[in-house]
Structure 1
Amino acid sequence: MEGWIRAMVEAIHSSRTQAVIFLSGGASQALGWLMSVPGASNTILEVVVPYSRISMAQLLGKIPTQFASQQIAEEMALVAYNRALKLSRPGMRVMGVGFTGSLASAHPKHGDHRFYLSTRTYDCVRTSNVTLLKGLRTREEEDKVSSHILLKAIADACKVSATFKSELHDSESPHECEKQFDEDQELQQVIDGQLCMKIYNFSSDMHTVNSERKIILSGSFNPLHDGHLRLLEIASSICDDGLPCFEMSAINADKPPLTVAEIKSRVQQFRKAGKTVIISNQPYFYRKAELLPGSAFVIGADTAARLINPKYYGGDYGRMLDILLESKRTGCTFLVGGRKVDGVFKVLEDFDIPEELKDMFISIPEDRFRVDISSTEIRKSRGL
């Protein structure tokens, strides 16, 4: 490995950026460089090589009309970015990388030898494409050139500076474009389903927690109140191997989606409290479990009652069991705090949990937490 490549990879690994990388049709040497330098686990979350038509179709949810194109590179980077959001450690920046190429092959190509790559971060998507001089290089040499460009793009997205030595000819200069996103645009992408979530890291704990696990209290938080804060604090003391987070869905199963302005207003509560909040687009817990695998979800007894009630699954007990068992397979658990249900204060032990699910539910004792006030009652008292 050349010295300048090693130096660039070391800078990438030191950047506190974690990436999911999707590659098809080239730049394979870049993976070897990234993974052979110590510190690769700081950067690489996952690498997927969707080389066949079926593999690419499953990745993107469609069969592309043209596999090597700027649009496909950007779509790969977006899917990779969403995947990185799910897999990343607390406090780390994330990146999605997409590469698709049509390089020299065993049989001569009628079209150009070209490649496209895209990097997606929270505020920017950058795309480059290069058309190579045909017949100038072997397949291995074209792969090396594309690997150089991909590595440089990853370094740029990590915002690290490093020496870059291009082997491109003047006529092969990359065509580059960049799209910046502000907070409003990013939140709208969550509402529209393009992004699976946005994480606001207001907690100083984000940089001290080594576990990938999250302890999550979901709600609408309209408003956030002391009961929420205390409940998450108690749950975190019971389950002490994760990062405490609040989670709010932009999408409501029974109401219109929240607006960008509403989300930003509620987020300010967490900024003032110094707490981490995740804005997702999933209103149902089994979808939240898919989005945040391995998490411990903190819920009230009223929510637990709904989770195990077949009424909310079309009256189908088997469907309820299947859905919750799938959530269990993601590694999720539920920490249940006491709440009033139909005017009566109840705890987890008051419910008949199916035998297959009992180890998925953990009780928060009443003597450790009991708050009867709700956000609804607070809004009523304020005349809202």
Structure 2
Amino acid sequence: MDLADTSGRKPEESTEDEETTTTTMIRAAVEAVHSSPSQAVLYLTGGASQALGWLMSVPGASSTVLEAVVPYSKMSTIQLLGKVPAQFCSKQVAEDLALLAYNRALKLSSTDSPVIGVGFTGSLGGKLPKRGDHRFHVSARTSDRSWVSTVTLSKGLRTREQEDKVSSQFLLKAIANACRVPSTSISELTESDLSSESEKTFDEDEELEQLINGEVCFKMYPFSNDSHASDAERKIILSGSFNPLHDGHLKLLEAASSSPGKGYPCFEISAVNADKPPLSVQEIKDRVKQFERVGKTVIISNQPFFYKKAELFPGSAFVIGADTAVRLINPKYYDGDYKKMLQILIECKSTGCTFLVGGRNVDGVFKVLEDFDIPDVLKDMFESISPEKFRMDVSSTEIRRSRGLL
């Protein structure tokens, strides 16, 4: 697609008809973005401010834009990145911002919606002349793709507002591409401007490697075909190793999510363990196949601890057995420090997360939530699943033992 304007006119000499056409194309692109199921987080610094107005002024923005942050000062950008970049306006910073935005979008998105992280950094014209180029970099990140565009604008050809408009057009194009919707040429570049694009794609193995390495916080496999549940913003999560997945797991999650309005039921496996080596990519894929066969959604994360899972899935309800509940409130697992236990669980509570507790055998005796002394400040975090709804004493360990796998 040729983005250059070969008419010979300067940008400020655009006719009224051309302005109207551009406005129409911008609105059409925004409407196409809003009609897609994708949800996005945007981190922008140094330009592309008009794009936010375009996105927010067209109906449907609330279904697309999860969050937009403008870390405009250098210190704000440093705090967001967690480091001092070698150069603030660079391709690397745009890609870093896009990856941060992508992980943020994963945490904020509703259930199985595809998410996009968008990063932009620019060095456009200002009040005083700049010695360096007027340029910008925009990057978009999805689960399986990373796209980046770099543009160097001809100095002295446009006002700051016009440069911001061009950068906004490229940002909108990046979002449209990530949403896989048509993006008609709306960029007002001239022959003297320079632009380049690059794209990287990731297969499933690479996505899982990124997750294990901590680059991406989780990956969802939305195998469930329950369209009603997928509309829920709250997740009901049963975490475990699921080696193997068995009928007890399925019935426990079914019981936990049986009440009206409970949320979107899904399983979760941490690829990273607290006291074991991380799962291999092949091990993860083998376990995921179990959920595909039964049509149940599973999330692969890299957080083995519940207080960290709560940060990944704010507002969720975690389904646990009574044996796990008793460990959660035992100071032994917090370096023997009762206050530390309270502090961590109160922080977990502040994310809006709760625990749904099913009965389990504890030291050979069947126990339910009511058998334990929950600290008063934490009681409203825990809700019992009655034995009438669910009781099954089988465990994955026993199944592996019966199969001669231990």
Q: Report the TM range for the smaller structure's normalisation.
A: over 0.9
Say which of 305, 312, 332 aligns to 2:353: 332
Q: What are the within-5 Å matches in structure 2 for residues 73-92 of structure 1?
A: 73-92=94-113
Find out whether 1:283 has 2:329 as its counterpart. no
Residue 329 of structure 1 and its aligned partner are, at CA, apart by: 0.6
Tell me the residue number matched to 2:7.
none
Tell me the residue number matched to 1:164.
185
Residue 165 of structure 1 and its aligned partner are, at CA, apart by: 2.5
Tell me the residue number matched to 1:354.
375
Residue 303 of structure 1 and its aligned partner are, at CA, apart by: 0.5
C-alpha separation in 2, matches of 1:207 and 1:59: 36
Residue 173 of structure 1 and its aligned partner are, at CA, apart by: 3.9
Find out whether 1:111 has 2:132 as its counterpart. yes
**1:296·1:335 contact (CA, 8 Å) conserved in 2?**
yes
Residue 44 of structure 1 and its aligned partner are, at CA, apart by: 0.1
Q: What are the within-5 Å matches in structure 2 for residues 241-260 of structure 1?
A: 241-260=262-281
Residue 91 of structure 1 and its aligned partner are, at CA, apart by: 2.5
Find out whether 1:25 has 2:46 as its counterpart. yes
Residue 47 of structure 1 and its aligned partner are, at CA, apart by: 0.3
C-alpha separation in 2, matches of 1:373 and 1:176: 55
Residue 162 of structure 1 and its aligned partner are, at CA, apart by: 3.5
Percent sequence identity over aligned pairs? 70
In the alignment of these two chains, the number of paired residues is 384
Over residues 337-360 of structure 1, what are the superposed CA-to-partner deviations in whole Å (9 max), with x where a residue is unaligned? 001111111100110000000010
Secondary structure of the corresponding residue to residue 311 of structure 1: helix
Say which of 146, 150, 153 aligns to 2:171: 150
Residue 208 of structure 1 and its aligned partner are, at CA, apart by: 5.0
Structure 1: gaps of 5 or more residues: none
Tell me the residue number matched to 1:140.
161
Residue 206 of structure 1 and its aligned partner are, at CA, apart by: 4.8
Output the amino acid matched with 1:291.
L
Q: What are the within-5 Å matches in structure 2 for residues 210-359 of structure 1?
A: 210-238=231-259, 240-359=261-380
Output the amino acid matched with 1:111.
G
Q: 1:341 to 1:208 in 2, by over 3 A?
A: closer
C-alpha separation in 1, matches of 2:387 and 2:329: 21
Tell me the residue number matched to 1:366.
387
Which of 86-95 and 212-221 deviates more?
86-95
Residue 130 of structure 1 and its aligned partner are, at CA, apart by: 0.2
**1:90·1:209 contact (CA, 8 Å) conserved in 2?**
yes
Superposition RMSD in Å:
1.1
TM-score by length of 2: 0.93
C-alpha separation in 2, matches of 1:160 and 1:210: 22
Secondary structure of the corresponding residue to residue 398 of structure 2: helix
Tell me the residue number matched to 1:16.
37
C-alpha separation in 2, matches of 1:350 and 1:52: 54
**2:47·2:124 contact (CA, 8 Å) conserved in 1?**
yes
Which of 327-336 and 51-60 deviates more?
51-60
Over residues 29-72 of structure 1, what are the superposed CA-to-partner deviations in whole Å (9 max), with x where a residue is unaligned? 00000000000011100000011122111111111121000000
Say which of 46, 67, 70 aligns to 2:91: 70
TM-score by length of 1: 0.98
Secondary structure of the corresponding residue to residue 258 of structure 2: helix
Over residues 101-146 of structure 1, what are the superposed CA-to-partner deviations in whole Å (9 max), with x where a residue is unaligned? 0000112111000000100001100000000001111111100010
Tell me the residue number matched to 1:127.
148
Q: What are the within-5 Å matches in structure 2 for residues 174-189 of structure 1?
A: 174-189=195-210
